[in-house]
């Protein structure tokens, strides 16, 4: 198995590395607020063809021909130097590619460019209090009244709703249809008095999640993505992007390397922890998991580049599950290395700068956070069922008779 890129792609990587010499910004630009620096660099990345790579130019992207290998190289190189590549928030990462696939021309022109620029902030309205892991049983309703949808009900665990301008979400529009067939995918303006957002405080002290209440809230009839009652198919596209985002091995490798550095500077019995045989065994075991993820990722890229995704469908289904489990192993080891420092609460700076693992409290924040992805984006139990039933052909779970 050849794990090297071809000469063509090595040349592409070199040209990208030349571009990345422009980060971090220098001179007066280095004095700009961090958010302004990132916006400026992304703007240059779009013009150079390295940011929002395959999004068409008319919608604010770089307009390059889709190429999974070039996209992978871009991701690797941006992560290597810590440069701001594609914005990974929910709008650019989840909604924009969904609109490119399912949206009308009007929706693409109205929403994609301002979303990529960060001028429109989005949250995802899927989870509901009574639905649990059975997303298709959601009850938040949307009824067509003239040229508007009238929305009533509640969403929960809605990430970043307190700062979002819009929600993309699933709403029951056909109450008499079977549960999967009665759902539509709508875009809802959150800045209206008929919508109330209540933050939920997490054990880290962060306020990332919210409850969202709709009382006769309204959305234009044209804000439906895909066909009426067929929102389930649209939502699966969004979930695919979300699971790939969670399952990316680059973050796994970055956190593992940080944990190795922590083991080098931590002490056990008066010696560096990395010299402790038990710590070394745990590091070696995790290295195996991380390398397996990286090799599997390369296999999947190769298959996708050849249009042969079906050959690696099973490992693709396992990406999210595997990365969740491995990240928990990494962060549990890091937490054990912290010793008494593990009792420290994450600082406001740790909470504000997500995925910060170069301080003790940053590791504490990430250790706590690592428990969450087993629930987010489809729970681990649901993922195991999907792999068993669709990947391995096992019998379906027993259903409780109605």
- What is the spatial distance between Cα 233 and Cα 226, in angstroms, rounded to a whole number? 8
CA distances from 402 to 134, 292, 399 (A): 15, 43, 9
Cα–Cα distance list, 284 to 182, 223, 291 (Å): 49, 51, 11
In this structure, the chain runs to a length of 402
For the question of residue 76 being annotated catalytic, the response is no
In contact, 66 and 54? CB cutoff 8 Å:
yes
Cβ neighbour number for residue 160 with a 10 Å cutoff:
17
Nearest to 79 by CA among 256, 216, 227: 256
Per the CB < 8 A criterion, the answer to whether 175 and 131 are in contact is no
Burial of 293 (0-12, 13-18, 19+ CB in 10 A): buried
Catalytic residue chosen out of the listed positions 106, 242, 287, 365: 242
Strand locations in 202-338, DSSP E? 209-220, 224-225, 267-268, 271-272
Tell whether omega for the bond before 24 is within 30 degrees of 0, i.e. cis.
yes
Contacts for 102 with CB less than 8 Å, ≥ 6 apart:
185, 225, 226, 234, 237
Q: What does the alpha-carbon distance between residue 247 and residue 316 come to, in Å, rounded to a whole number?
A: 9
As beta bridge partners, residue 142 has 151
Q: Where are the alpha helices (DSSP H) in 191-248?
A: 231-246
Can you read off the two tokens belonging to residue 197? 């957002």
Question: What are the residue numbers of the active site?
Answer: 242
């Amino acid at each position: 198995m050849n794990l090297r890129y071809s000469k063509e792609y090595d040349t592409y990587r070199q040209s990208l590395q030349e571009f990345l010499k422009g980060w971090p910004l220098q001179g007066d630009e280095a004095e700009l607020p961090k958010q302004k620096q990132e916006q400026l660099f992304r703007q240059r990345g779009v013009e150079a063809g390295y940011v929002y790579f395959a999004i068409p130019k008319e919608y604010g992207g770089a307009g390059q021909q889709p190429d999974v290998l070039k996209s992978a190289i871009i991701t690797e190189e941006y992560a290597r130097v810590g440069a701001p590549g594609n914005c990974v928030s929910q709008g650019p990462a989840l909604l924009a590619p969904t609109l490119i696939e399912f949206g009308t021309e009007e929706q693409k022109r109205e929403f994609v460019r301002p979303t990529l620029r960060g001028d429109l902030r989005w949250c995802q309205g899927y989870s509901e209090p009574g639905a649990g892991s059975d997303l298709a049983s959601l009850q938040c309703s949307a009824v067509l009244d003239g040229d508007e949808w009238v929305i009533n009900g509640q969403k929960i665990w809605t990430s970043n709703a307190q700062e979002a301008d819009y929600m993309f979400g699933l709403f029951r529009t056909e109450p008499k249809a079977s549960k999967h067939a009665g759902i539509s995918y709508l875009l809802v303006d959150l800045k209206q008095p008929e919508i109330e957002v209540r933050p939920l405080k997490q054990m880290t002290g962060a306020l990332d999640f919210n409850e969202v209440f709709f009382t006769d809230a309204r959305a234009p009839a044209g804000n439906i993505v895909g066909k009426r009652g067929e929102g389930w198919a649209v939502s699966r596209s969004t979930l695919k992007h979300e699971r790939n985002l969670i399952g990316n091995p680059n973050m796994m490798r970055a956190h593992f390397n940080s944990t190795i550095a922590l083991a080098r500077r931590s002490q056990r019995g008066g010696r560096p922890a990395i010299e402790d045989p038990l710590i070394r065994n745990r590091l070696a075991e995790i290295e195996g998991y991380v390398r397996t993820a990286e090799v599997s990722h390369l296999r999947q890229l190769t298959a996708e580049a050849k249009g042969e995704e079906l050959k690696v469908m099973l490992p693709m289904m396992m990406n999210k599950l595997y990365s969740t489990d491995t990240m928990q192993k990494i962060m549990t080891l890091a937490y054990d290395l912290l010793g008494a420092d593990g009792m420290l609460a994450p600082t406001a700076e740790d909470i504000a700068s997500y995925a910060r693992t170069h301080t003790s409290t940053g590791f504490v924040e990430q250790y706590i956070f690592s428990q969450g992805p087993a629930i987010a984006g489809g729970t681990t139990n649901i993922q195991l069922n999907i792999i068993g039933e669709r990947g391995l052909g096992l019998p379906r779970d027993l259903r409780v008779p109605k």
